[in-house]
Amino acid sequence: MKEASKVETVNSSKPARLGIGIISAGKVGSVLGAALREAGHAIVGVHAVSEASQTRAEALLPGVPVLSIPEIVERSEVVLLAVPDDALPALVNGLAETNAWQAGQIIIHTSGRHGTNVLDPAREKGAVGLAIHPAMTFTGLSLDLTRLKNCSFAVTGPAAFLPIAQALTVEMGAEPVIVAEGDRPLYHAALAHASNHLVTITGQSLQILESIGIPNPAHYIEPLLRAALDNALASGENTLTGPVARGDFNTVRTHREELHGYSQEEKADDITTAYLALAKATAIRAYERKVLSNEQFEQIINALNG
């Protein structure tokens, strides 16, 4: 509970400016609620149903009442909707059907996929709709508050009200970056492709290393992964190394054969599928950048196709 008391006392001398309600106390909502509270805003209520959500609310938003969704909407100047992407449209529309939204109320959602069109049912009731999405993965712990300081948020909304989203983002210590309404789905796909699939391929690699007896495979592969990511972020694809970039088609063929046998034995077809798809994508991008000659590219593709 030491972390909880720390969150509660930070910036307690600041006057509260906006009454903000949090729906819900998932990993994102609880952390952003704590960050907004730290910035001097009053958190009037939080929606937390599961035991895990209630625990997060107690740790990150101590003293904030746990309320029903209608109660939060009724009491809040700003409603932060931190619910899953697919749940957002039904929630917004359902509250509109019960006339819960209020004229002048600010509705902000944290979905990466959606822009502000999903908030049209609320805007038709006179509310202001905004979208903010932190480009960060959340643990739901207080350490996320520190991570926000190096984070960027995609902000979307009508030009007249966009400064509200930008200001709240800055107050949380992050950097606002404007993303157009129509670009939100593609933006979200890019982030999901980079972060989610990184976790998947890392898990696949760890599985293989563990199967051949490498002790503590995560420790073994960590320097390689960190260096690859750091180099890619610093210099892009110019840092690409490995058999595909070198045109080592015999090595690539051996990889395909070994992974095929491993996948059949371990019933892990996803590993071979991922390797072949990503190796082919790597070869195409290397060829387009003239890293591979025509002959090398053809040899690599043939090796991957078997």
DSSP characters over 98-120? TT---TT-EEEE--SS--SGGGH
Rounded-to-integer distance, Cα 256 and Cα 240, Å:
20
**Average predicted confidence (pLDDT) for the chain:** 94
- Return the pLDDT at 150: 87
Q: Which pLDDT does position 290 carry in this prediction?
A: 96
Q: Residue range 185-194: average pLDDT? A: 97
Q: What is the pLDDT of residues 26-62, one digit of tens each?
A: 999 999 999 999 999 999 999 999 999 999 999 999 9
Burial of 115 (0-12, 13-18, 19+ CB in 10 A): buried
Indicate the pLDDT class of residue 1, thresholds 50, 70 and 90: very low
Q: In what order do the strands lie in the sheet with 42-47?
A: 42-47, 19-23, 78-81, 106-109, 128-134, 152-156, 175-178
pTM of the shown model: 0.88
Specify the residue for token string 């991922």.
Answer: 274
Alpha carbons 273 and 265: distance in angstroms, whole number: 15
- Quickly state the pLDDT bin for 16 (edges 50, 70, 90): low
**Are 78 and 106 a contacting pair, CB within 8 Å?**
yes
Check residue 306 and give its pLDDT.
86
Cα dihedral sign for 107, 113, 116, 119?
negative
List beta partners, residue 155. 132, 178
Residue found by looking up tokens 């409603």 in the block? 79
d(CA 217, CA 204): 11
- From residue 278, alpha-carbon distances to 193, 201, 253 in Å are 12, 10, 14
Q: From 3.30.830.10, 2.40.420.20, 1.10.10.10, 3.40.50.720, which CATH number describes the 2-179 domain?
A: 3.40.50.720
Tokens of 219: 């420790």
